[in-house]
Amino acid sequence: MPSTFKVETLESFSGGLNLRADQFNLGGTESPDLLNVTVDPRGGIAMRKGVSRRNVTALGADVKGMWGFHTDTGTNQLMVNYGTAVAQSASGNFTAFTNITARTDGSRVYGVTFNNVAYGVSYDKPSFKWDGSTDADLGTTWDAAGHMPKAQYITVWNNFVWVGATYEGSASKYRVRWSNIDTAETWTASDYVDVNKGEAGDYITGLVPHGDRLLVFKTNSIYAIFGFDSDSFQVTTLTQRIGSVPLSSPISTPYGVFFWNSHDGIYLYDGERFTWLFSRLQPAIDDGRIGFTNPPQLTWGNNKLYVSVDWVLAGATTVRRTLVYDPSLGQQGAWTLSDIDAGPLHTLRPPNGDPVVMAGCVANTGSVIHLDDEDDRVTDNYLASTEVHIDSHFRTPWVEGKNAIVKKRWGKPRMITLANSSITLGVQVFKDYDTAQASKVFDVVIAGRTSSSLWGTDTSDFDCKWDEDAVGSEYLAVWGADAEATVADIKRLPTLGTAKAVSMRIDGPTVTNNSWEVNALAFTYTPRRMR
């Protein structure tokens, strides 16, 4: 009699986090619940890298704004504002400027590098500059040589410095001004445009260069400026349906411009169309998990979009969470979620070095951290005296064996894992679309190894078959990996029992601070007859 034994595999988790889908339409590569994991290009799920602190000495208040200062001579500094101060750091601790004052309300200050000088705007306070040795404010008479308008936003486009939401005795929230060409300190009084001033409450919220246009974001609309000089600059409307929230920092990337629109989350403008990217995470906005006391912050680094948001826990406690979007995964890209304490975000881009994603912390007051640490950290280090363990987990979609209503006898699944040392993963098994209580709980011990062999290249007597070696035990091999990397461990898990569908939650180590990865899962089952 032919065997009814069947196998269903999960070979990729590239769909990332999906909070919207129910048990019947959650994609096979998606997860309804994950934290502190990333998706690698091959689709494996792995613990995220830890964060490292930049400054040992804490600043006196929360960091509200960040930007980089880079020169042709090799200067590479991170600029920040906190409280009423502005400071710089070439590495390590920050040095506050003596002649620069941040905006009165303590909100985010914006800055740029232009002609090897750092310029910044402090809204109701004088704009300022820093040349690497001397800091100075640029006065209040903005139309004279050696000065700059007060404003909320600043950018560089087409060899002009642009400022938006100016402060000319009072707030001019619709106004955009541009400097004389090739200078940041000479301005002409008539060189400005009021962008749709008649729309009450629709204020400028950002300036973002993108290709041949300067995008002007407002609260509920977006415009583009085209042209080459004061005689040719013109404004055109892109949309009056969506915009960007104030102080949220829309960001230009190779994919287009990402921005946060009110209570809809992230959109992408690719130069032709607007695409909503937050459908799978919208429930977190609808149910209040994502809050808006502080504006979301965006940056682009490591070919990913980083978004920090207010996250409301049970009991109404608000913390910061960091969402990461990888547009290269699948047709729609993939989201993951981490508990990284991040307020403002910035990617430091040294002229001759690798970009570094930075964040100013909220709970860890006065701390600036490096995300996706280049040293492959496996713990978080904020300003505390001790390393912080990274709690990580991932839950699979429901595995139904191609039929959601027929019961099956679920056998012993196989799990392909990677680890850099001996660790223990915790596993919970849920049945029949019920996640209130696990039907089984067990541990999976992974033996880390210091050497490995590549699939198909072993010269020993082992035949490199999945799940067997010459003596019939588990064979450990790296499938397509570098010979010096951590090795794969194919684990046979306990029998899961009888159910219509199963889902598995995998928790990273609770004590040992080591990395882990799961590349694939194979579920074995035998369908039962329907009665």
Give the tens place of pLDDT for each residue, 259-310. 999 989 999 999 999 999 999 999 999 999 999 999 999 999 999 999 999 9
Nearest alpha-carbon partner for 486 in 453, 520, 458, 448:
448
Min mean pLDDT across 275-279, 389-393, 511-515 is at 511-515
141 domain-assigned: no
Q: How is residue 395 written in tokens?
A: 């839950």
Locate 462 and state its tokens: 């082992």
How far the first Cα of the chain sits from its last, in Å, is 21
Distance, CA of 322 to CA of 67 (rounded, Å) = 19
**Is 382 inside any structural domain?**
no
The 10s digit of each residue's pLDDT in 426-440 is 999 999 999 999 999
Q: pLDDT per residue over 206-228, tens digit each?
A: 999 999 999 999 999 999 999 99
CB 338 within 8 A of CB 35: yes
CB–CB of 398/8 below 8 Å?
A: no
Widest distance between CA atoms in the chain: 94
Phi-psi category of 362—alpha, beta or left, where left has phi over 0 and alpha has psi -120 to 50?
alpha
User: What number of CA atoms fall less than 13 Å from residue 468's CA on the CB side?
Assistant: 5
Report the side by side order of strands in the sheet with 251-253.
Answer: 251-253, 256-261, 265-269, 274-276
Strand, helix or coil at 308? strand
Summarize the confidence of residues 179-198 as an average pLDDT.
94
Q: Which tokens hold the place of 74?
A: 């090799």
Closest CA to 157 of 255, 72, 233, 75: 233
Contact predicate 179/166, CB 8 Å: no
Instruction: Determine, yes or no, domain membership for 310.
Output: no
Residues contacting 473, CB < 8 A, separation 6+? none
Per-residue pLDDT at 481 exceeds 80: no
Over residues 328-350, mean pLDDT: 94
The overall average pLDDT reported for the chain is 89
- Three-state secondary-structure class, residue 279: helix
Could you tell me if residue 397 is inside a domain? yes
Determine, yes or no, domain membership for 44.
Answer: yes
Q: How far apart are CA 525 and CA 531, in angstroms?
A: 18
Say how far apart CA 209 and CA 156 lie, in whole Å: 7
pLDDT of residue 23: 72
Q: Which residue has the higher pLDDT, 386 or 20?
A: 20
Which residues face 274 on adjacent strands? Answer: 269
pLDDT digit string, tens, across residues 367-379:
999 998 777 889 9
> Which carries the bigger pLDDT value, residue 120 or residue 198?
120
Number of domains in the chain: 1
Strands 110-114 and 117-122: antiparallel
486 confidence band (pLDDT: 50, 70, 90): low
Answer whether residue 450 shows pLDDT above 50.
Answer: no
Instruction: Give strand ranges (E) for 462-529.
Output: 487-492, 497-499, 502-507, 516-527
Is 158 part of any domain? Answer: no
pLDDT band at 474 (very low <50, low <70, confident <90, very high): very low
Answer yes or no: are the C-beta atoms of 108 and 64 closer than 8 Å.
Answer: yes
In the 8-state DSSP scheme, what is residue 200? Answer: T
512 domain-assigned? yes
Question: Is residue 513 over pLDDT 90?
Answer: no
Q: How far apart are the C-alpha atoms of 249 and 330, rounded to whole Å?
A: 26
* Unique residue bearing structure tokens 């620069």: 100
Q: How far apart are CA 391 and CA 444, in angstroms?
A: 16
Q: What is the Cα–Cα distance from 89 to 118, expressed in whole angstroms?
A: 13
pLDDT at site 349 = 87
What is the model's pLDDT at position 531? 61
Cα separation, 236 vs 353, whole angstroms = 37
Predicted TM-score (pTM) of this structure: 0.91
pLDDT interval class at 464 (50, 70, 90): very low
Q: Residue 396: phi, psi to the nearest 5?
A: -75, 165
Distance (Å, rounded) from C-alpha 374 to C-alpha 253?
A: 21
Structural domain harbouring 435: 6-48+393-527
Span 501-509, mean pLDDT? Answer: 96
Q: How confident is the model at residue 449 (pLDDT cuts 50, 70, 90)?
A: low
d(CA 442, CA 126): 62
Nearest to 492 by CA among 434, 427, 430: 427
Over pLDDT 70: what percentage of the chain?
A: 92
As given in the structure block, the two tokens for residue 145 are: 């040589």
- Tell me how far CA of residue 147 lies from CA of 170, 180, 185, in angstroms: 18, 12, 5
Query: In terms of pLDDT, which residue wins out, 357 or 419?
Result: 357
Q: pLDDT band for 456, please (50, 70, 90 cuts).
A: very low
From 237, 286, 241, select the one nearest 259 (Cα to Cα). Answer: 241
Per DSSP, what are the bridge partners of residue 163?
154, 177
Domain-embedded: residue 516: yes
- pLDDT above 70: residue 161: yes
Taking the C-alpha atoms of residue 476 and residue 470, their distance in angstroms, rounded to an integer, is: 12
Mean pLDDT of 124-143: 92
Say yes or no to pLDDT of 479 above 60: no
**pLDDT mean over 475-502:** 70
Residue 283 host element (H or E): helix 282-286
What are the helix and strand counts (H, E) for the chain? Answer: 1, 44
> Cβ(503)–Cβ(398) under 8 Å?
yes
Could you give phi then psi for residue 309, rounded to 5 degrees?
-140, 160
* Three-class DSSP category at 264: coil
What DSSP string runs through 422-464? -EEEEEEEEETTB-SS-SEEEEEEE---S---BTTT--SS---
Q: Which residue has the higher pLDDT, 330 or 212?
A: 212
Closest CA relative to residue 68, chosen from 9, 34, 36, 112:
112
- Give the Cα separation of 495 and 408 in Å (integer): 12
On the question of pLDDT at 2 being above 60, the answer is no
- Percent of the chain at pLDDT > 90 equals 76
Handedness of CA 59, 301, 100, 74 (dihedral sign): positive
Asked if residue 352 has pLDDT above 80, the reply is no
Please state the rounded mean pLDDT for residues 496-524: 94
CATH number at residue 505: 2.60.120
Using DSSP's 3-state secondary structure scheme, residue 102 falls into coil
